[in-house]
A and B are shown apart, each in its own frame.
Chain A
């Protein structure tokens, strides 16, 4: 091969390298633009948490019950919603009852929530009361609290004695 031929081959390899770089750039940009927008995914998860909270809290329970301070069973009858039960529970907790008094109904509520939520989400329910009626907190879910990276839908209620009750539904990716 003479000098002209070597020069042409060198130019061709140079072109080849440029072609490779251009191809890698195009494919890299495409894969980045196709990656799911995390902001949109989080907004969707928050909307889903809101739907779960609304659906769960208006679900009725079949004759839920709890144990009063004397250990007697108190049946509430049919048609009591999860929302009503949790609001009563946190007010009774503030007056001295323990979560164990509500264990049966809490397990039922958590079971309903777990059944309602679609994979890959996990659910937890938190209720709290603060104000003149005292303070109380109840947690229904795995562990002792929700993870820090979660999607929360909450609602606040004013009680007749001026206290503030809050019910939060947390979702997080498993």
Chain B
């Protein structure tokens, strides 16, 4: 019934089976790891690109800038900025956080606005801009936009 090799033939094949299963597991595991890493990197890159786009849109927003000059933010417009307007810049419904930190002038100010809870996945983009207080008082500032993932 067991044939020429009897029961020992099966136990000899177990070694072969283990080596093959181990090899297949390594290949499938590495493929899964590569796919996961690639997918998360693609999502992160897309979020970073979107964040940079929102930052540029903010710095050129005609309702925010002074005299139509990109990067020259009007103080009154910043003070009157609300989360609805900020959320409208993204056009995707993602939560946004804006921080404008003045780096010059008497009593430098910091403005912060957030549309919703940012969540664990997020990307930031930051650049230099100016805040117009008056023609005699234009202050350098760091502008940072953080976008939450979905």
Interface residues of A (CB under 8 A from B): 1-2, 5, 8-9, 11-13, 15-16, 18-20, 22-24, 26-27, 29-30, 33-34, 47-48, 51-52, 54-56, 58-60, 62, 78-79, 81, 112, 115-118
SS class, residues of chain A in contact with chain B: helix
5 A-B residue pairs with Cβ-Cβ distance under 8 Å, sorted by A, are A5-B16, A19-B26, A23-B27, A59-B104, A62-B106
Contact B38 A116 (CB under 8 A): no
Contact A59 B140 (CB under 8 A): yes
Q: Which of the residues A1, A23, A52, A78 comes within 8 Å of B128, measured between beta carbons?
A: A52
Q: Given the complex, which residues of A lie within 8 Å of B142, measured CB to CB? A: 116, 118
Q: Which 10 A-B pairs have the closest CB atoms?
A: A79-B136, A19-B23, A23-B30, A12-B19, A55-B128, A30-B34, A16-B23, A115-B103, A12-B16, A59-B140
Contact A51 B34 (CB under 8 A): no
Query: How far in angstroms is the closest Cβ of chain B from A171?
Result: 10
Contact B38 A55 (CB under 8 A): no
Q: Does B117 contact A (CB under 8 A)?
A: no
Q: Does B81 contact A (CB under 8 A)?
A: no
**Given A5-B12, A34-B41, A116-B128, residue A15 in contact with residue B20 (CB < 8 A):** yes
Contact A55 B140 (CB under 8 A): yes
Besides A5-B12, A59-B140, A62-B105, 13 new A-B residue pairs in contact (Cβ under 8 A), listed by A number: A5-B9, A5-B16, A12-B23, A20-B23, A30-B34, A34-B38, A58-B72, A78-B136, A78-B137, A79-B135, A115-B104, A116-B103, A116-B142
Q: Given the complex, which residues of B lie within 8 Å of A2, measured CB to CB? A: 5, 12
Query: How far in angstroms is the closest Cβ of chain A from B41?
Result: 5
**Given A27-B30, A34-B41, A58-B72, residue A15 in contact with residue B23 (CB < 8 A):** yes
